[in-house]
Structure 1
Amino acid sequence: MGPMPTRQQRRPRSVVPLLAGLVAGALVSSVGVAIGAVPTAVRPTAAASQPAAQPAAVSPAATPEPAPPGDRVPACTAKVAAMTPRDRLAQRLMVGVDAANPRAAAETVRSSQVGGVFLGGNGTALLRNSQLTRLQAMARVPVAVAVDDEGGRVQRIDDLDGSLPSARTMARTMTVEQVREAGRKRGSQLLARGVTWNFAPTVDVSDQAANSVIGDRSFSDDPDVVTRYAAAWAQGQREAGVFGVLKHFPGHGHADGDSHRGRVTTPPLARLKADDLRPYADLLGPAGALRAGGAGVMVGHLDTPGLTDGLPGSLTPAVYQLLRGEYGFDGLVVTDDLGAMKAITGQFTLPQATVRALQAGADMALSSNVTPVAPTLDALERALADGRISTADNDRAVARILTAKGLCSPA
């Protein structure tokens, strides 16, 4: 996600050792719900028809159950079919929760059964003392817990586990293998605290000044360097069990502004294909290092001449068609923040923007807002009932989300 002034700026700190005894992302509560991770590391969970569980005391030293072999992971079709229509739509929402208020965050999950929660701000209470395990106990389907932990100006656990350098600094001072190891270590730290998805790495190609909207969040202004280092970071955190998301498709690195503040325009599509889109082609193409379920993609709120026509990219079908068609990507696609960025909020309410994004082709709609979920779910139910969102498209999207959580296999 793009930089958020209220939660991105950090002071460098030395690395703090991991809390002893925290189990990496697979703590199992007394109701048998595991924190989601990658497809090879998660046991199938309770059926969607079960009632919501109540909070359970969980020992930090609990032993994770062994994961089933890959050929025993159930197909997503059956898991999707077991859900009610509203629960399927809820899976397509990732909503902001207050990381300083674990009780309220757990109640959001219990009452809405959303597919994911996003931890913004500077609070850390939800990342301590197994609070995310207790949040997971509220879910009939394990919740994706996401942060944007890139390093530099945008990181989330530096207060707890130490600071990371920016992407640009990594590329200038570290080898590819060192970055892969850094990604693995950071992924292990995130997963130990219950975080299962990281909206990183940034694959924007940029020569902007370090403190500009993308700036030092980009590994380089050379697409080949971006590709190598982004692959290393994504592979490292995947090895640790964290699902990564590449951002911001089709490329924010040469855009003319900050989509937090209003509408922004990128260079024309032809130029993006020659430069900004090359990391996506190389990483997600037929021989791409991340093609086989290695990462998702975040679509930005960008106006692109020759691609979008009057709406930001996150709400434009042609953007998703480019990613799915020309680049052949069949993994998870999530929007950038629909709730706190003026490129969207200047024109649409959150329910309106969410409906449009899912209509356009997003699998999952992200909003960092800590706000009631019911109005957005109600709007999605109406859109599903009147055909603006098709049942088949909805089920395919839910299957991709469950696959990204490691709960089932796409076949």
Structure 2
Amino acid sequence: MPRRQGQSVPMPSHQQRRRPRAVVPLLAGLVVAAIVGGVWAATATPTSSHARATGGAATQPVAEPSAPPGPPACAAVVAGLSERDRLAQRLMVGVDAADPVGAAEIVRTAHVGGIFVGGKATALLRNDKLAAVQSAAALPVTVAVDDEGGRVQRIDKLDGSMPSARRMAASMTPEQVRAIGFERGRQLRARGVTMNFAPTVDVGARPAGSVIGDRAFSDDPDVVIRYARAFAEGQREAGVTVVLKHFPGHGHASGDSHKGRVSTPPQDRLERDDLRPYSALVGPGGPLADGSGVMVGHLDVPGLTDGLPASLTPAVYRLLRGEYGFDGLVITDDLGAMKAISNRFTLPRATVTALQAGADVALSSNVAPAGPVLDALERALADGTLSAADNDRAVARVLAAKGVCVDRS
């Protein structure tokens, strides 16, 4: 994600195409209301006809109240969404944190599945303004920030500063870092944030101010694993979804993907260092395997990406899903404001390519209408560039990650 908050690349302003919204089935609607309200709707116990007629107690025993219904299967909820709304669930778009009304309007009109709160403005993060954003949506909205500590923080002006990852690993125990993660997670949740693009699990010891630099816990993969796990477990305990980044590893890359194309060492070298945190933390049976996400970076990996950034390369997603066995939510790094992408691709094209390659969610920090991107995705679905079955599976993962439903596929 952009390490300098608040820098967005403007898109041309187009009139967003509107389509009638699909009517979500009653069951899905009840679930959405229950999620937003914070409780599951209970099933009422009917009164017997004799009691209703006489106004007295029924002569027959009254059945015990049934248990509150659990979340439905994701397939049923996905089936109740229009094609465009399914695609919209796979978008996370930038909003202006100084404009809470505008943020709610983006959600209301585009029905996007998530928003990214960038910049340094704080109006959207104060006075329960994010509740209005949730109220504008038919389905819960993922609200994401970058809040790693050190140079990359989001609520430091509101709730205080956190040390950088490198400083935490050098001066604290994992237990202390877990406590910091929990307290920061509690603060994020209190402000309406549901997802944090942290911790960084890149492995490296480059100068503190370089693109990763002190955002990395260490150049020792074992130290990264211990401290990233501690921070992530604290956040998760507080109710925040964590996203590990930047797969397959930015710590030894040749430069800054915010500024242009960068290369990493070849895959066999990455496997010795950079990829080990993913194997240990989100592989099958890993402590963060369930309920966490992974962000794929814009990195050229010799022999793996064949000239495309990792975020647009099917082989990279196969590596993460297959060899590393990760079955959770996979998100791209910023497709809108990072020049490793924007120098070569329009945002609609990059989004189609990323979702086709295997990403569940395409992230863009741009504060711009989502209509042109959704139009491109609809065309891609119509001509077979995007598989309808793959799209539905990705939407199910997105909804399951938000607790809307249970993915039984």
**Structure 2 portions without partners, runs of 5+:** 8-31, 42-65
In structure 1, what is the equivalent of residue 382 of structure 2?
385
**Mapped contact 1:35–1:143 kept (Cα < 8 A):** no
Q: Secondary structure at the match of 2:226?
A: helix
One-letter identity of the residue aligned with 1:198? N
TM-superposed CA distance for 1:33, in Å, is: 6.7
2:375 maps to a residue whose letter is: D
Q: 1:90-138, CA deviations, whole angstroms, 9 ceiling, x for partnerless residues?
A: 0000000000000111111111000000000001000111110011111
TM-superposed CA distance for 1:407, in Å, is: 1.5
Task: Give the whole-Å Cα distance in 1 for the aligned partners of 2:254 and 2:391.
Answer: 34
The CA distance in 2 between the partners of 1:170 and 1:132, in whole Å, is: 30
Other structure's SS at 1:72 match:
coil
Whole-Å separation in 1 of the counterparts to 2:69 and 2:318:
31
Q: Is the 1:203–1:248 Cα contact (8 Å) retained in structure 2?
A: yes
1:184 aligned onto 2:175: no
Could you tell me which runs of 5 or more consecutive residues in structure 1 were left unpaired when the two chains were aligned.
8-30, 45-67
Whether the aligned pair in 2 keeps the contact of 1:34 and 1:136 (CA below 8 Å) is no
Q: Give the superposition deviation at 1:87.
A: 0.4
Structure (1 or 2) with the larger CA radius of gyration: 2
Match for 2:277 among 276, 279, 282? Answer: 279
Instruction: Show the counterpart of 2:157.
Output: 159
- Specify the SS of the correspondent of 1:172: helix
Letter matched to residue 287 of structure 1: G
TM-score after normalising by structure 1: 0.85
Aligned equivalents of 1:328, 1:284: Cα separation in 2: 8
Matching of residue 211 in structure 1 with residue 213 in structure 2 = no
Q: Tell me the residue number matched to 1:333.
A: 330
Q: CA–CA distance in 1 between the matches of 2:33 and 2:126?
A: 21
Q: Distance in 1 between matches of 2:270 and 2:280?
A: 14
- Answer yes or no: is the 8 Å Cα contact 2:6–2:118 preserved in 1: no
State the Cα distance separating 1:4 from its structure 2 match.
Answer: 2.3
Supply the AA of the counterpart residue of 2:214: D
Q: Which amino acid aligns with 2:85?
A: D
Distance in 1 separating the partners of 2:223 and 2:403 = 30
2:1 aligned with 1:4? no
Q: Say whether the 8 Å CA contact 1:42–1:407 is kept in structure 2.
A: no
| 2:321 equivalent among 321, 324, 348 | 324
Task: Name the CA distance, whole Å, in 2 between partners of 1:197 and 1:399.
Answer: 18
Tell me how far apart the structure 1 counterparts of residues 223 and 335 of structure 2 sit (CA, whole Å).
Answer: 30
Structure 1 Cα separation of the partners of residues 316 and 365 of structure 2: 22
RMSD: 1.9
Aligned residues: percent identity? 70
Contact kept in structure 2, 1:33 and 1:137, CA below 8 Å:
no
Contact kept? 1:168, 1:218, Cα under 8 Å: yes
- Post-superposition Cα deviations, 1:351-400, rounded to whole Å, max 9, x if no partner, equal 00000000000000000000110000000000011111111100110111
Match status 1:132 vs 2:130: yes
Contact 2:40 2:69 in 1 (8 A): no
SS in 1 for 2:124: helix
Matched residue of 1:265: which SS? coil
Cα deviation code 1:186-241 (max 9, x no counterpart): 01100000000000000000110111000000011000110111111111111100
The offset of 1:73, in angstroms, is 2.2
Give, as a single letter, the amino acid of the residue that structure 1 aligns with 2:200.
Answer: T
- Correspondence list, 1:115-264, <5 A: 115-264=113-262
- The question of whether the paired residues in 1 share the 8 Å contact of 2:352 and 2:380 is answered with yes
Q: Which residue of 2 aligns with 1:50?
A: none
Deviations 1:58-80 (A, max 9, x none): xxxxxxxxxx9998222211111
Partner of 2:401: 404
Partner of residue 79 from structure 2, selected from 75, 78, 81 = 81
Task: Determine the C-alpha separation between the residues in 1 that align with 2:252 and 2:236.
Answer: 28
Contact 2:314 2:357 in 1 (8 A): yes
**Distance (whole Å) between structure 2 residues aligned to residue 72 and residue 370 of structure 1:** 36
Counterpart in the other structure of 1:22 = none
Q: Which residue of 1 aligns with 2:294?
A: 297
How many residues of Structure 1 are paired with residues of Structure 2 in the alignment?
361
Query: In the aligned structure 1, how far is the partner of 2:240 from the partner of 2:330?
Result: 16
Structure 1 residues 287 and 71, CA gap change in structure 2 (3 angstroms):
farther
- Runs of 4+ aligned residues of structure 1 deviating over 2 Å after TM superposition are 4-7, 31-36, 41-44, 68-71
Displacement of 1:285 after TM fit?
1.9
- Write the letter of the residue equivalent to 1:79: V
Q: Matches of 1:109 and 1:377 in 2, distance apart?
A: 13
Q: Tell me which amino acid in the other structure corresponds to 1:306.
A: G
What whole-Å deviation, never above 9, does each CA across 1:1-53 have from its counterpart, x for those lacking one?
Answer: 2412657xxxxxxxxxxxxxxxxxxxxxxx947459xxxx7748xxxxxxxxx
Kindly provide the CA deviation profile for residues 236-289 of structure 1, in whole angstroms up to 9, marking residues without a partner as x: 111100000000000000001000100000000000001100000000122311
Equivalent of residue 350 in structure 2, options 346, 353, 361:
353
Measure the CA separation in 1 of the matches of 2:165 and 2:40: 34
Asked if structure 1 preserves the Cα contact closer than 8 Å seen for 2:35 and 2:404, the reply is no
Contact 1:298–1:335 (Cα < 8 Å) also in 2: yes
8 Å CA contact 2:34–2:40 kept in 1: the answer is no
